[in-house]
């Protein structure tokens, strides 16, 4: 009983902190994205980049800016990985092989942060700071920028598809939001015992009388933006289960709060940007419903243990950090897979079969509950358009949302966006289970082996980054294929969302009438949650039945 109340208590604390931060942080993000003023440091950045922050961009130009910036980021990060042994503070680390450097560069630029390598054995301090940590900031800022462009598409009318300025959005979010919040979070983590130095390997004497090599490094600064930007990855291979990254139960709770903070605040920002705060509340309600359900189910599965009947087998402690226990590990696992964070404080391969299934479904929802910073919300808005379209079909009325009609062009873009992720996950998994190079990576065969591969492509295609640790993914086959899955899973939806924003911005606003579907009511929230689950159910039930479901029944 005490364990159950501990689980309830920590969930309540996280929810309370998020509720308190929702309004002020959401309003601050709104002011950041709509203010006509530029800070002095921002103006300096614009001059260096030689861009005019006040020049409005059409959606196609906005998209080219996103793609150009991301391509340059991939090339720089690839080069840093390949030349790592020639960099200062390299700690004697060897350069990454071409396939590994490609995978790492794509992973961090797409906000996936999938790591095929052990951080303390493959990445030097400068590569971590100047390469990986920098991308943790800007990849998160790109997601919020694309969301801002979509919100402007709904808010504007007759603007010749102009949706803002990417460079202004990118710089403002980084300078005014991510940097200050990450700085405060890093100080809090240092106070909690997370290390922050430039130390190399140090030989220490263990309690058993032996020796062990411990690596120092700039961990707190990277840990803060890793969680805040829903990035994931880890300075150490054990990730947030490592005492240097996550020393105590309260730092563990802080990290959970950080990874949920921006995704749960952005619905208010969206509501204010489109001129209807009720829409933000409705989106928040749908996201919260799905997140609470996932946390509850995963916590039950892990506390019940292998027997799946509470009290019959104790909890499932294998693969869990004893400092936190099953309840804290379940909360972390559900939160990290319902966002695009991918950080872990336990090994997800050690989750019970239904617990692992919940984590997997959390990603397969498209990570919209609440999803990554920016990307989760624009993914949810896409599903709102689907829900509105279906409701319109049922009543025989042209669907509309926020005063914009959803016609053939709009629904085509939305349909392509919804289908992109399932195509990436299922095609990638099918290739991996069909060739010897893919099957060779499995630790186990049978249903769990399929789950390992499916989880990897769900993680890559949804830009999550967590993994079932049993899969050996550091091979040229998986590094190449998963890198392609990350690229398609990130940038195809971005292109389609920006095209949708351009179409909406060029429309005239339609006044509400008697037949307009209210999209801020509890009834619509229920419809949206149902549509989200049905879209996943119809797409992934067959493969889930062959993996987690069969494993649970056996």
pLDDT in tens, 221-239: 999 999 999 998 889 888 8
Query: Is the pLDDT score of 56 beyond 60?
Result: yes
Residue percentage of the chain with pLDDT more than 90? 67
The mean-pLDDT minimum among 106-110, 200-204, 238-242, 490-494 falls in 200-204
User: Quick one: pLDDT at residue 511?
Assistant: 81
What pairs with residue 214 in β-bridges? Answer: 202
Which one, of 319, 314, 496, lies nearest residue 421 by Cα?
496
Dihedral of CA 310/312/316/322: which sign?
Answer: positive
**Alpha-carbon span 295 to 359, nearest angstrom:** 9
* Mean pLDDT calculated for residue range 202-226: 87
**Alpha-carbon span 1 to 5, nearest angstrom:** 6
- DSSP reduced 3-state for 314: coil
Tokens of 467: 């993994």
User: Quick one: pLDDT at residue 103?
Assistant: 95
Span 150-196, pLDDT tens digits:
999 999 988 788 999 999 999 999 999 999 999 999 999 999 999 99
Query: Is the pLDDT score of 387 beyond 60?
Result: yes
Angle, in degrees to the nearest 10, between helices 134-155 and 375-395: 30
Span 484-510, pLDDT tens digits:
999 999 999 999 999 999 999 999 888
Which one, of 237, 200, 198, 238, lies nearest residue 219 by Cα?
198
* Mean pLDDT calculated for residue range 353-377: 90
Query: Is the pLDDT score of 312 beyond 60?
Result: no
User: Quick one: pLDDT at residue 4?
Assistant: 67
User: Quick one: pLDDT at residue 274?
Assistant: 95
Query: Is the pLDDT score of 1 beyond 60?
Result: no
- 436: CB partners within 8 A, 6+ apart: none
Query: Is the pLDDT score of 477 beyond 70?
Result: yes
**Alpha-carbon span 536 to 549, nearest angstrom:** 15
Query: Is the pLDDT score of 263 beyond 90?
Result: yes
Tokens of 27: 């309003």
Residue 314 binned pLDDT confidence (cut-offs 50, 70, 90): low
Structure-token match 């087998």, residue found: 313
Structure-token match 């398609």, residue found: 488
What pairs with residue 213 in β-bridges? Answer: 203
- DSSP reduced 3-state for 138: helix
Residue 310 binned pLDDT confidence (cut-offs 50, 70, 90): very low
Span 319-356, pLDDT tens digits:
788 888 888 999 999 999 999 898 998 888 888 888 88
Which one, of 148, 155, 236, lies nearest residue 194 by Cα?
236
Angle, in degrees to the nearest 10, between helices 476-505 and 375-395: 60
Structure-token match 């179409």, residue found: 503
User: Quick one: pLDDT at residue 313?
Assistant: 45
User: Quick one: pLDDT at residue 44?
Assistant: 94
**Alpha-carbon span 551 to 470, nearest angstrom:** 15
């Amino acid at each position: 009983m005490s364990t159950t109340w501990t689980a309830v208590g920590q969930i309540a604390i996280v929810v309370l902190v998020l509720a308190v931060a929702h309004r002020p942080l959401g309003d601050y993000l709104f002011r950041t994205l709509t203010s006509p003023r530029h800070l002095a440091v921002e103006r300096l950045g614009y001059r260096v980049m030689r861009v005019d922050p006040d020049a409005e961009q059409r959606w196609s130009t906005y998209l080219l800016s996103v793609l150009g910036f991301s391509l340059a980021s991939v090339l720089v990060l690839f080069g840093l990985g390949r030349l790592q042994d020639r960099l200062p503070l390299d700690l004697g680390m060897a350069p990454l092989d071409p396939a590994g450097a490609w995978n790492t560069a794509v992973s961090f630029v797409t906000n996936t942060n999938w790591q095929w390598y052990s951080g303390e054995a493959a990445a030097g301090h400068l590569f971590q700071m100047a390469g990986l940590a920098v991308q943790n900031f800007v990849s998160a800022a790109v997601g919020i920028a694309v969301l801002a462009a979509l919100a402007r598409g709904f808010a504007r009318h007759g603007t010749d598809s102009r949706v803002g300025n990417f460079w202004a959005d990118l710089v403002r979010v980084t300078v005014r939001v991510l940097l200050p919040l990450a700085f405060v979070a890093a100080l809090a983590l240092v106070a909690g015992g997370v290390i922050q130095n430039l130390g190399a390997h140090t030989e220490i004497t263990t309690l058993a009388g032996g020796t062990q090599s411990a690596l120092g490094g700039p961990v707190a600064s990277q840990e803060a933006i890793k969680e805040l930007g829903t990035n994931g990855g880890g300075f150490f291979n054990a990730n947030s289960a490592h005492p240097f990254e996550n020393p105590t139960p309260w730092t563990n709770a802080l990290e959970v709060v950080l990874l949920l903070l921006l995704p749960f605040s952005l619905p208010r920002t969206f509501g204010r940007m489109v001129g209807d705060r009720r829409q933000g509340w409705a989106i928040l309600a749908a996201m919260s419903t799905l997140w609470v359900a996932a946390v509850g189910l995963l916590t039950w599965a892990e506390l019940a243990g292998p027997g799946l009947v509470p009290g019959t087998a104790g909890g499932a402690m294998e693969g869990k950090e004893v400092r936190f226990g099953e309840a804290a590990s379940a909360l972390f696992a559900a939160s990290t897979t319902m966002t695009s964070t991918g950080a872990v404080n336990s090994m997800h391969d050690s989750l019970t079969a239904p617990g692992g299934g919940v984590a997997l479904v959390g990603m397969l929802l498209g990570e919209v509950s609440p999803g990554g910073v920016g990307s989760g919300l624009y993914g949810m808005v896409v599903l709102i358009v689907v829900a509105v379209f279906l409701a319109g079909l049922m009543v025989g009325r042209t669907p509309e949302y926020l005063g914009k009609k959803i016609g053939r062009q709009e629904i085509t873009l939305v349909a392509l966006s919804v289908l992109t992720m399932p195509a990436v996950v299922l095609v990638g998994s099918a290739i991996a289970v069909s060739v010897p190079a893919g099957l060779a990576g499995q630790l186990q065969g049978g249903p769990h082996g399929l789950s390992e591969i499916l989880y990897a492509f769900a993680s890559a295609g949804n830009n999550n980054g967590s993994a079932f640790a049993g899969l050996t993914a550091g091979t040229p086959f998986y590094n190449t294929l998963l890198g392609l899955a990350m690229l398609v899973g990130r940038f195809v939806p971005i292109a389609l969302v920006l095209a949708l924003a351009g179409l909406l911005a060029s429309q005239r606003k339609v006044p509400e009438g008697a037949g307009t579907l209210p999209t801020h009511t509890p009834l619509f929230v229920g419809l949206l949650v149902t549509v989200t689950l049905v879209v996943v159910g119809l797409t992934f039930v067959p493969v889930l039945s062959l993996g987690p479901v069969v494993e649970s029944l056996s």
